[in-house]
Amino acid sequence: MQLTKAEEQIMQILWKLGEGSVQDIRESFTDTKPARTTIATILNILETKQFVTHTSEKRVNRYKATVSKETYSKKQLFGFMKNYFGGSFSTMASFFAKESNMTIEDLDQLFEETRQALEEEKNKPE
């Protein structure tokens, strides 16, 4: 399920905080702080979408993400890859390499870091 930009902003804050109240979330905004009612409304929507849950402590709701940032990011990335690059990772990587003017050395470094990460994942105990 796709989140709106406002919903994603709230989720980014919750992922960073671990859990928090409307006030905690509001204080985490660096620029213009949205109204408490706006944050509460978005949290209610996120709860309906089953992205967050809450507990009540002395009339204060504390919200916590039920979907990890990694899970959401993975789903969004694979959806993006499917919709824009026909599901092909190599086509997507090639596009970004060209668009960002990566050098051969940059690509070699990227491949080496990817290879190491895959090796580490493969050797991880289950």
Euclidean distance between CA atoms 33 and 44, whole angstroms: 18
Is there a single domain that holds both residue 115 and residue 77?
yes
Is there a single domain that holds both residue 38 and residue 90?
no
Q: 13: domain CATH number?
A: 1.10.10.10
HSE, CB side, 13 Å, CA atoms: give it for residue 44.
6
Helix axis angle for 5-17 and 36-48, nearest 10°, is 90
Euclidean distance between CA atoms 63 and 109, whole angstroms: 40
Euclidean distance between CA atoms 27 and 10, whole angstroms: 12
Domain end call among 65, 83, 109: 65
pTM of the shown model? 0.77
Over the stretch 49-105, which tens digit does the pLDDT of each residue have?
999 999 998 899 999 999 999 999 999 988 988 999 998 888 888 888 888 888 889
**Predicted pLDDT of residue 98:** 87
Domain count, the chain: 2
User: Which domain, by its residues, includes 97?
Assistant: 69-123
